[in-house]
Amino acid sequence: MEPEKLRFSESHEWVSLEGRVATIGISRFAVEQLTDLVYLDLPAKGAKVFAGEAFGEIESVKAVSELYSPVDGEVIEVNDTVVDDPAKIAADPYGTGWMIKVRLAEDATIDHLLDHAAYQKQIAEEPH
C-alpha cells in the first residue's frame, strides 16, 4: 500500500479502505518511535471496535502502547503473522504488517482521519 493513499489517526494508526472494509495498521513513524517490537495483542474475529477506543496493545523493548481504532465496525480478519512475529510490522508497516480488517459500521466513515499530507505535518511537529 502506498502511504500517500492512506488515511491516518492522530494516534498513528492508518486505514486503507476498500468498499466497506478497512485494513488497519500503524505508521512507519510509530514503528520507529517504538523501536524493537516484541509483543502484539489484537482482538478476535467478530469483536466490535469503536473509533478512538483501544482495540489492542503493542509492546516494544521501550514501552507498551495501546492501539486505537480509527473506525467503528466489526473485526473480520486478524493478521496472525504479525501476532506471531511483531517484527514483521517494522519490516513492512504499510503492507504485510497490517493488523486487522474491519467491516465498517453502517454509518461509519473515514472522513475524520488525516490525509497523508496532514499526517506528515502532525508528525513533523511532534517531539521525537
pLDDT digit string, tens, across residues 83-115: 999 999 999 999 999 999 999 999 999 999 999
Map out the domains of the chain with their CATH numbers: 3-107 (2.40.50.100)
pLDDT at residue number 20 = 96
pLDDT digits (tens, 9 = 90+) for 25-36: 999 999 999 989
Give the predicted TM-score (pTM) of the model.
0.94
Band the pLDDT of 39: cuts 50, 70, 90: very high
CA distances from 83 to 27, 39, 97, 114 (A): 17, 7, 10, 26
Residue type, 38: V
What residues form DSSP beta bridges with 40?
Answer: 58
Residue 116, pLDDT above cutoff 70: yes
* Coil/strand/helix, residue 125: helix
The single residue listed with the C-alpha cell 517484527 is: 87
Continuous H helices in 1-128: 28-34, 80-84, 87-91, 116-125
How far, in Å, CA of 115 to CA of 63, rounded?
A: 27
Instruction: Please state the φ and ψ torsions of residue 46, each to the nearest 5 degrees.
Output: 95, -15
Say if residues 44 and 50 touch (Cβ distance below 8 Å). Answer: no
Residue 128, pLDDT above cutoff 80: no
